[in-house]
Amino acid sequence: MFSLRAIITKPYIMIQNLSKENFNELHDAYPGAVEFFMQWFEEYKNEVNWEGLFGNNVEHLHAPIVRFDDIPFEMQNGIIARFELELFNNSFGKGKDEYVAIAEQYKSQIVKLFAELDEQIIKFKQKL
């Protein structure tokens, strides 16, 4: 069995997530913006079934409530990117079609990433 790590040349870097303290500092500096984000985030959690995703709705598991500051930075970054897209599109008069086009562009980038990675894996396996 081959190791994907052999293809990845850089070591994995763990980025510290945005903590509760970070958000408290942001709230102190920009209370209106942070409260607006938190209101949006509550709607987002309902939209994606946050409680179900993290097992918070299964009583017998007694799972701790997973909050935004509990998730890894990469997940936080994705959520903030969506917030930014929605805010930008709604605030500057761009409609749903443009938002969908941007989302489709991101999806195309993901497909391209996996296609390129697959090529590298095939080349790596051929060298074995």
What the block records as the tokens of 58 is: 């299964």
Query: What are the boundaries of each domain within the chain?
Result: 20-94, 95-128
From residue 45, give the alpha-carbon distance in Å to each of 59, 61, 121: 18, 20, 36
Q: Tell me the per-residue pLDDT of 70-112, one tens digit each, with 9 for 90 and over.
A: 888 889 988 998 888 888 766 555 666 777 777 788 888 889 9
Check: CB of residue 64 under 8 Å from CB of residue 51: no
Angle at CA of residue 104, ends 98 and 108, nearest 5°: 145
Q: Tell me the per-residue pLDDT of 39-74, one tens digit each, with 9 for 90 and over.
A: 999 999 999 998 888 876 666 566 678 889 888 888
